[in-house]
Structure 1
Amino acid sequence: MTVVLGANRYGKAETRVVRVTRDGDVHHLKDCNVSVALSGDMAEVHLTGDNSAVLPTDTQKNTVYAFAREHGIGQIEDFALLLARHFTASQPAIHHARVAIEEYSWERQGPHSFTRSATEIRTCVVHHDQDGTTSVVSGLRDLVLLNTTGSEFHGFARDRYTTLQPATDRVLATAVTAGWRHLPAGTGAYDYGKSYDDVRRCLLEAFAGTHSLSLQQTLYAMGARVLTACEEICEIRLALPNKHHFLVDLTPFGLDNDNEVYFAADRPYGLIEGTVRHDHAPDPGPAWD
């Protein structure tokens, strides 16, 4: 039996960087978590311990901080592309760079005062090869949504273990994780911020406007709305946990409960996942990894 080295990569994970831009008395804040993973001609470091092709992960961390100072942090996709292109261009042994960024949002309360916004996190994953091939996946995580009505679930398969009763009026709640893949950008500037706002708006509108017979139906409606409205997006992947709300039995207290009082359960929960894409979408390659 022959043992060989398989796919591998290495990098510095979760470099937390906060960038304050001072515009006179008005300050602007960017709060990000940056993860870098590099791959390429790395066989010798694994097989013999030869580190000559290894750019230290500490250097990768320092690059994130230096680039934040030198270039600022605008849209996180642009910052990720800047880093990925740097690593593949500056190191001959690095053939591929993956840069993933999480952005934590803050709401302005004054010229230099902020409050952390809710739970939602903006995300992106950028892959870039030495040959110039690039993929960009933008996304979000923990976008919490709830409809108090307009949701049903019935007509489902049953077996000897099924106890769930059909529902014709239920609370539908979820915490959306979504990632959407951009078509390759042209030569001009690409506005990732506008694209993010458009996609987020479509997700909200589709969730609120869909009379749901299942969370799967809602997932498809959300994805289809994005692809119909946003021509720059070729594919979107969604993960929707079903945040169950169960009616509380108040009959022991002589009270009825006409869909008014619920127990919000945190686990276990149903998890609905799916991809909606254009039928002509290009091969994603490693984009989602």
Structure 2
Amino acid sequence: MVTVLGQNQYGKAEVRIVRVSRDTVPHRVKDLTVGIALSGDLAATHLTGDNSAVLPTDTAKNTVYALARQHGIACIEEYGGLLARHFVDTQPAIHRARVRIEEYGWSPIASPAFPHSFVRDGGEVRTTEVVRDGSGLRIVSGVTGLIVMNTTASEFRGYVKDRYTTLRETSDRVLATEVNARWHLVAGGDGMSADDFDTSYTRTRRHLLDAFAQTYSLSLQQTLYAMGHHVLENHPETDEIRLSMPNKHHFLVDLEPFGQKNDNEVYFAADRPYGLIEGTVHREGVTPVIPVD
């Protein structure tokens, strides 16, 4: 039997990059997932294992970061063209480069006083859990998938260190999380109309965002408590709120090997593993009723 090599390509998939521009008010965030596929005179690597024409996929990943730092990201079409031209123009064996980019939008949370605080557009889900038993009606409202980020005004230091600790202390970091919150309405929301429930949800969401933006964070735990406290302080119809907030880590990319400085501008957005911070904030004397998952 005779076989031949057909169409082939290779590249790097799902390169996560966050580019922060701090010279505007508010800060400008470009949050992308980039996929690269390269093809050309690459038969030898398949047929004989000769890699002399192969640009490593790790190099392709590094190129995504380096060109973002060097040229910025005005829009994904322009940035995609920059990447595609780079691979074809600099690699003799590469005749075709396909670049696919997904962009995730972010909107400022608050006023110009907090230019570093953002909420990701779309994706959040409003929830409720209603229980009727012998003690009456219990209503727990909530939101999941509310993704927020501070591009600065966050640090993490002074923590316990043992022989396995490698994490470095930082006085300036990106703080990003997904807010998953549930709050208990006093007396089962007795007397509240549909409009009242809608208004309560909108106001609670707003106060969660305001507290996230206004809190200078020394830890995600501190931010969680500040958000819960702010909701209860402004919502007499709520007596308890439970928050679950994963720490969506953003790591600075080391661009020194490419002769570039990275002054808190280009990040790798990791999706796992992640720290998970959870806690309940309730009024004094109230027995919590929201279950712990």
After the TM superposition, which residues 76-225 of structure 1 pair with which residues of structure 2 at under 5 Å, given as runs? 118-129=122-133, 131=134, 133-185=136-188, 188-190=191-193, 191-225=196-230
- Equivalence for 2:269: 264
- Rounded to whole Å, the distance in 2 between the matches of 1:187 and 1:223 is 22
- Match of 1:193, SS state, is helix
- Equivalence for 2:249: 244
- Match of 2:125, SS state, is strand
Q: Structure 1 residues 215, 229: closer, same or farther in 2, change over 3 A?
A: same
Q: Which moved more, 1:190-199 or 1:206-215?
A: 190-199
AA in 1 matched with 2:199: K
Residue 281 of structure 1, CA deviation: 1.8
Residue 288 of structure 1, CA deviation: 6.6
- Rounded to whole Å, the distance in 1 between the matches of 2:245 and 2:192 is 32
AA in 2 matched with 1:218: T
Residue 280 of structure 1, CA deviation: 2.2
- Match of 1:184, SS state, is helix
Contact residue 148 and residue 170 of structure 1 kept, 8 A: yes
- Rounded to whole Å, the distance in 2 between the matches of 1:249 and 1:123 is 41
AA in 1 matched with 2:128: C
Contact residue 137 and residue 287 of structure 1 kept, 8 A: no
- Match of 1:159, SS state, is coil
TM-score normalised per structure 1? 0.57
- Equivalence for 2:106: none
1:235-263 CA-partner distances (Å, limit 9, x unpaired): 00000100000000001011111111100
AA in 2 matched with 1:258: D
- Rounded to whole Å, the distance in 2 between the matches of 1:263 and 1:240 is 20
1:205-260 CA-partner distances (Å, limit 9, x unpaired): 00011000000000000000000000010000000100000000001011111111
Contact residue 227 and residue 233 of structure 1 kept, 8 A: yes
Residue 119 of structure 1, CA deviation: 0.7
1:3-37 CA-partner distances (Å, limit 9, x unpaired): xxxxxxxxxxxxxxxxxxxxxxxxxxxxxxxxxxx
1:110-134 CA-partner distances (Å, limit 9, x unpaired): xxxxxxx7210000001102x4611
Residue 189 of structure 1, CA deviation: 3.4
Contact residue 178 and residue 239 of structure 1 kept, 8 A: yes
- Rounded to whole Å, the distance in 2 between the matches of 1:118 and 1:133 is 35
- Rounded to whole Å, the distance in 2 between the matches of 1:157 and 1:205 is 30
- Rounded to whole Å, the distance in 2 between the matches of 1:283 and 1:165 is 36
Q: Structure 1 residues 251, 225: closer, same or farther in 2, change over 3 A?
A: same
Contact residue 130 and residue 139 of structure 2 kept, 8 A: yes
Larger RCO (CA under 8 A, 6+ residues apart): 2
Unaligned runs of 5+ in 2: 1-120
- Equivalence for 1:110: none
Q: Structure 1 residues 147, 126: closer, same or farther in 2, change over 3 A?
A: same
AA in 1 matched with 2:264: N
Residue 156 of structure 1, CA deviation: 0.4
- Rounded to whole Å, the distance in 1 between the matches of 2:182 and 2:256 is 44
- Match of 2:139, SS state, is strand
RMSD: 1.7
Contact residue 145 and residue 176 of structure 1 kept, 8 A: yes
AA in 2 matched with 1:259: N
Contact residue 207 and residue 222 of structure 1 kept, 8 A: yes
The structure that has the greater radius of gyration is: 2
Q: Structure 1 residues 202, 170: closer, same or farther in 2, change over 3 A?
A: same
Aligned length: 171
- Match of 1:119, SS state, is coil
AA in 2 matched with 1:264: A
Instruction: Please list every run of at least 4 consecutive aligned residues from structure 1 whose deviation after the TM superposition is greater than 3 angstroms.
Output: 286-289
- Match of 1:205, SS state, is helix
